Structure 1
Amino acid sequence: MTLSLTTGPAGTRILGLGHYRPSNIVTNHDLIARGVDTDDEWIKTRVGIAERRWADPDETVVDMAEQAGSKALAASGVAAADVDLVIVATCTMPTPVPGAAPNVATRLGIDSPGAYDLNSGCSGFVYALNAASAAVLTGQARNVLVVASERFSGWLDLTDRSTSIILADGAGAAIVGPSDSPGFGPVAWGSDGSQADAIAIDERSRMFRQEGQAVYRWATGAMAPVAIEACEKAGVPLEDIVAFVPHQANLRIIDALARRIGLPNAIVARDITTSGNTSAATIPLALSRMVEGGEIPSGAPVLVLGFGAGLAFAAQVLLAP
């Protein structure tokens, strides 16, 4: 027996972006007032954050995903009726079931799409982009809504200054749809499960924890070659990259990676200074803000690099919408 296969367009690309940041701004001084044992200069020197956003008590992962997804739909010009698949990248849902994606779809008026959540921590958005692109390329979907939404404020131990000063809440979204030519280069991805315990939710306290120094050494030492590989696979010279949007883990990591990769003409995303580390949401949130602000022209090659929990990582060159 031979099974029938569907086929899709020649290429895919991001058609529109959207983002959402909660209105609640938490400065370094606010953290100190809440009892975090630190000071403003220490935070800025160690991680580069001046302020971050935390959701209101009744504001959920789904609420933020809806806001970002709505903006991505509007920016793309794609109607909700033309979206066949919704993927939500998140690791901070309050319970494992139900997933966020079906709820997000319903709220946005997307009728009966395929819908699932994807959990790959901080690299989740890049993994989700590739799942979305594959669905369109194989004719399984016409357009896909990809959302990364995280609410870390509910998982923080304020006595642990290594994590409470970094993590934040927010969402970013993209519509992935058909294109006459490729808008995504091949992905360079992988994982190192031997260090899975370096970033985790503690089983007893139910609070986020990480081995900061181990993660710093891994990210600054191992991720630059992955980013270079993504550029080589896409056939894009490093000097042609217009913007570098890595996971916003820590400003020192971002700057070290930019130097080691060698991107002479690229704008480097440093959204962490005012948005904090929102895990899977950092890349689409930063990218959406840069595109909206006119920093990245349409069609420009952008290098994205996600890395973190798992430990998993993924890098790719994409064309800005």
Structure 2
Amino acid sequence: MTEPTLHQSVGVPYTRIYAIGAARGDLTVTNDDLAGPIDSSDEWIRQRTGVITRKRASAEVHAIDLAEAASREAIEKAGIRSDQIGAVIVSTISNSVQTPSLAALLADRIGATPAPAYDVSAACAGYTYGIAQADAFVRAGLATYVLVVGAEKLSDFAKPTDRTISFLLGDGAGAAIVGPSDTPGIAATVWGSDGSKWDAVGMDRPLKEAFDDPEGGFPTLRQEGQTVFRWAVWEMAKVAQQALDAAGVTSDQLAAFIPHQANMRIIDEFAKQLKLPESVVIARDIATTGNTSAASIPLATHRLLEEHPELSGGLALQIGFGAGLVFGAQVVRLP
């Protein structure tokens, strides 16, 4: 009997991002709105974080709603049909339930069923993880087009009296369509984790503990600010440089730098560490959107392309980093 030869999927050599969609919370929340419970002020929050206002969603608006709006825009701009999407990847830490996934519901809402759909839990690095996976899927022949979404409603997990992170947080979703390309459009991803700092950012209590002791309150987000700041400034600047090296480009060849919108001070330090020339446009969406975790990079990208359409076709270095601690960075060609 002849030994059968297995058929393996084969894709295309190159990929690119076709389009970006965005959706922000419908409410604008000022620093003064949040300063009272943390005994702070507009000036203190601005100096510490660079945030002036943040976008948050009304009670009836959920992460899935933001994800759907952003996805529909990305699909329309990409010029494809929903039923052409071969996979749906959603990065989120704020799905309203532990299971099932937000991605499966999103696929149904936008008409992408029966595409495989799953959530990624990589916090603020989640979008870069999703882009890395989408790139691999298309090049492996597992899908022709992949929808990558970062969607968060972090206001549901913000404690008004928390002085470590709550005043930073915003709500929004960003979506990207990844597909085949004639030329390289997504460079190699540099990614990883450092679980030794697992408790530097995250929830203030486990779900089971909250279930057993409901009087203690629902789990909310908190962070060790100085630990995260030092790690981001010193270690992530190295990762960003590694991503440039992996892509075979230098900082002066970039059109834009789009880091996770964690804190304006971190963004400014990044620029210094990387010695970015003035010609590189730096995303600073955090000033009026806040920190939206997995959604921050695509939201910042969307705004940059709206404000600077001449960046289309240029190279951008994007880097995400956050709870885990986890990180991911890659150079991409802007749609």
Same-fold status (TM-score > 0.5) = yes
Q: TM-score, with normalisation over the residues of structure 2?
A: 0.93
Q: TM-score, with normalisation over the residues of structure 1?
A: 0.97
Q: Which residue of 2 aligns with 1:98?
A: 100
Shift of 1:296: 4.8
1:303 aligns with 2:305: no
Shift of 1:180: 1.0
Moved more, 237-246 or 201-210: 201-210
1:48 aligns with 2:50: yes
Of 236, 242, 247, which aligns to 2:260? 247
1:11 aligns with 2:17: no
1:284 aligns with 2:298: yes
1:316 aligns with 2:321: no
Q: Which residue of 1 aligns with 2:192?
A: 190
Q: Which residue of 1 aligns with 2:180?
A: 178
Cα-to-partner distance string for 1:221-241 (whole Å, 9 max, x where unaligned): 101111111111111111101
Output the amino acid matched with 1:156: A
The structure-2 alpha-carbon separation of the partners of 1:217 and 1:200, relative to structure 1 and needing over 3 Å to count, comes to same
Q: Which residue of 1 aligns with 2:68?
A: 66
Q: Which residue of 1 aligns with 2:82?
A: 80
Cα-to-partner distance string for 1:35-54 (whole Å, 9 max, x where unaligned): 33210000000000000011
Output the amino acid matched with 2:143: A
Of 143, 155, 161, which aligns to 1:153? 155
Output the amino acid matched with 2:303: R
Of 19, 31, 34, which aligns to 2:34? 31
Measured in 2, the distance between the counterparts of 1:294 and 1:74 equals 20
Q: Provide the alpha-carbon RMSD of the alignment.
A: 1.1
Measured in 2, the distance between the counterparts of 1:210 and 1:295 equals 36
Shift of 1:281: 0.5
Measured in 1, the distance between the counterparts of 2:197 and 2:130 equals 22
User: Secondary structure of the residue that 1:14 maps to in structure 2?
Assistant: strand
Of 224, 241, 247, which aligns to 2:237? 224
The structure-2 alpha-carbon separation of the partners of 1:296 and 1:277, relative to structure 1 and needing over 3 Å to count, comes to farther
Q: What runs of 5+ residues in structure 2 fail to find an aligned partner?
A: 211-216
Q: Which residue of 2 aligns with 1:115?
A: 117
Cα-to-partner distance string for 1:190-231 (whole Å, 9 max, x where unaligned): 111000000111224401111011000110110111111111
Moved runs in structure 1, 4+ residues, more than 3 A?
Answer: none
- Contact in 2 for aligned 1:243/1:296 (Cα 8 Å): no
Shift of 1:247: 0.4
1:21 aligns with 2:34: no
Measured in 2, the distance between the counterparts of 1:55 and 1:106 equals 22
Cα-to-partner distance string for 1:263-303 (whole Å, 9 max, x where unaligned): 11211100000000000100000001111223552220000
Shift of 1:2: 4.1
Q: Which residue of 1 aligns with 2:213?
A: none
User: Secondary structure of the residue that 2:112 maps to in structure 1?
Assistant: coil
- Contact in 1 for aligned 2:72/2:110 (Cα 8 Å): yes
Q: What runs of 5+ residues in structure 1 fail to find an aligned partner?
A: none
- Contact in 1 for aligned 2:25/2:170 (Cα 8 Å): no
Q: Which residue of 1 aligns with 2:204?
A: 202
Using the aligned pairs only, state the percent identity: 45
- Contact in 2 for aligned 1:300/1:320 (Cα 8 Å): yes
Higher radius of gyration, 1 or 2: 2
The structure-2 alpha-carbon separation of the partners of 1:67 and 1:173, relative to structure 1 and needing over 3 Å to count, comes to same
Of 263, 280, 289, which aligns to 1:266? 280
